Amino acid sequence: MPHILLDKVSVDFPIYDGAQRSFRHTLLNAGIGGMISRQGNRHLEVRALDNLSLVLNKGDRLGLIGRNGAGKSTLLRVLAGLREPTSGRLKVFGKTAALLNIASILDPDMTGYENIARAFVLLGIPNRDHVALTQEVDNFTELGTYLELPIKVYSAGMQLRLSFALMTAQEPEILLLDETLSAGDAQFLSRADERMAALRNRTDIVVLASHVEREIRRICNKVLWLEQGHCRAFGDTDTVLAAYATANS
């Protein structure tokens, strides 16, 4: 059964040029916040997650809230297996799909059809499903003969349609989302929202990081409020969002 366990998980980012004036620039470019500590004369560390414990089971839809640099994206990357914890215990049971950087799945020098075939391999989609899913992606994107052309000739909107269709062609048990889709024309956004809702509904566990309260309320039954990498509050959606709003009013 799909299950997520974090037991006192911490993640540290070492910053080796901390004694230089470029430290702040380095930190901002890394997109991380958290608590800063010094290890030796020139070695600084940023603790992006601090002693975090959490259990999620089938049916949980968890919203991650907090200011920029609070640790939301770091937590998603840890759950996706893209970053190892510095300390603590992490267990993720279940097939996981991470929609963290949708555009990264495309190779600009390949055609649309070549990218579809490549993505299916990268995403671990069984060969028996390739033909049907290729047709589904074709229908959803409405790119037609453009699928025969290299991605580099596509507009940004066309690339978005294809990458989104590929990432949502998966059948995960655990779905990780960093913000919801906000780009594209109104018609595409409407169809994308329906497709994403269908994906969430057939997924056992969802973890969504978002700054949009209405999205958290619409999707999540639990909320984790992160502050400088540690848990400020965890519980049902209404209770935690109310506490967050009071603290930031």
User: Tokens for 243?
Assistant: 């506490």
Q: In this predicted model, what pLDDT tens digit does every residue of 131-189 receive, in sequence order?
A: 999 999 999 999 999 999 999 999 988 998 898 899 888 889 999 998 766 556 678 88
Looking at the fold, whether 46 and 133 belong to one and the same domain comes out as: no
Q: In this predicted model, what pLDDT tens digit does every residue of 58-87 receive, in sequence order?
A: 999 999 999 998 999 999 999 999 999 999
Instruction: Please tell me the predicted confidence (pLDDT) of residue 103.
Output: 63
Looking at the fold, whether 10 and 38 belong to one and the same domain comes out as: yes
123 pLDDT more than 70 = yes
Which of the four pLDDT bands, split at 50, 70 and 90, describes residue 25?
Answer: low
Looking at the fold, whether 106 and 185 belong to one and the same domain comes out as: yes
24 pLDDT more than 70 = no
Looking at the fold, whether 196 and 212 belong to one and the same domain comes out as: no
Cβ contacts of 168 within 8 Å, gap of 6 or more: 99, 195, 196, 199
Looking at the fold, whether 113 and 154 belong to one and the same domain comes out as: yes
Instruction: Give the bridge partners for 36, in sequence order.
Output: 46
Looking at the fold, whether 197 and 143 belong to one and the same domain comes out as: yes
Looking at the fold, whether 183 and 109 belong to one and the same domain comes out as: yes
227 pLDDT more than 60 = yes
Instruction: Please tell me the predicted confidence (pLDDT) of residue 142.
Output: 92
The domain of 23 spans 3-94+208-247
Looking at the fold, whether 197 and 109 belong to one and the same domain comes out as: yes
CA angle 238/243/245 to nearest 5° reads: 95
Please measure the distance between the N-terminal and C-terminal CA atoms of the chain and give it in whole angstroms: 40
- Global confidence as pTM: 0.81
Domain CATH for 119 = 3.40.50.300
Mean pLDDT computed over 192-196: 87
Instruction: Please tell me the predicted confidence (pLDDT) of residue 220.
Output: 95
Looking at the fold, whether 73 and 27 belong to one and the same domain comes out as: yes
Higher pLDDT, 49 or 16: 49
Looking at the fold, whether 145 and 217 belong to one and the same domain comes out as: no
98 pLDDT more than 90 = no
Cβ contacts of 77 within 8 Å, gap of 6 or more: 83, 98, 100
Provide the percentage of residues in the chain whose pLDDT is more than 90: 60
When the pLDDT of each residue in the chain is averaged and rounded to a whole number, the result is: 87
Looking at the fold, whether 23 and 83 belong to one and the same domain comes out as: yes
Q: Which residue has the tokens 């980012």?
A: 13
Mean pLDDT computed over 230-246: 96
Domain count, the chain: 2
Instruction: Please tell me the predicted confidence (pLDDT) of residue 124.
Output: 86
Looking at the fold, whether 110 and 157 belong to one and the same domain comes out as: yes
